[in-house]
Amino acid sequence: MTDSQDPPQAEGRAQIHRVALKIPPFWADEPELWFAQLEGQFTLGGITQDSTKYAYVLSHIETKHAKEIKDLITRPPDNDKYEHIKRALIQRLSVSQEQQIRQLLETE
């Protein structure tokens, strides 16, 4: 018998440690960069489920940006919800920014 106070562990048994996610506020001006950071957090947190990733995105975007993807929120696709919402936000917000720049240039 040993003097160790540590509880016995089975050999070869995997230990699971959860990491708290640190998700920054959504960056509408840099959605691609935001998603890259988000995916790093998913990796650290061991999050692989599509529906969980989708839910994290929904919980971190503001109402004005949610309106851009209302169709995907109210009628989400059956598969690959996260990839659909990611692509839509990047594409739609990028278009919106281009339109804003054009408007600024036209008013000058």
Domain-located, residue 48: yes
More confidently predicted of 6 and 20: 20
Domain-located, residue 87: yes
Exposed / middle / buried, residue 66 (Cβ in 10 Å: 0-12, 13-18, 19+): middle
Range of the domain at 77: 31-106
- Going by pLDDT thresholds of 50, 70 and 90, the confidence category of residue 104 is confident
Domain-located, residue 102: yes
Domain-located, residue 6: no
pLDDT in tens, 32-50: 999 999 999 999 999 999 9
Domain-located, residue 93: yes
Domain-located, residue 18: no
Domain-located, residue 3: no
Q: How many angstroms separate the Cα of 35 from the Cα of each of 18, 26, 53, 78, 99?
A: 21, 9, 11, 21, 22
Q: Determine the pLDDT at residue 106.
A: 84
CA dist 60 and 47 (Å) reads 16
Helix axes 81-107, 50-60, angle to 10 degrees: 30
Number of domains comprising the chain: 1
Domain-located, residue 11: no
Tell me the mean pLDDT in the region 16-39: 88
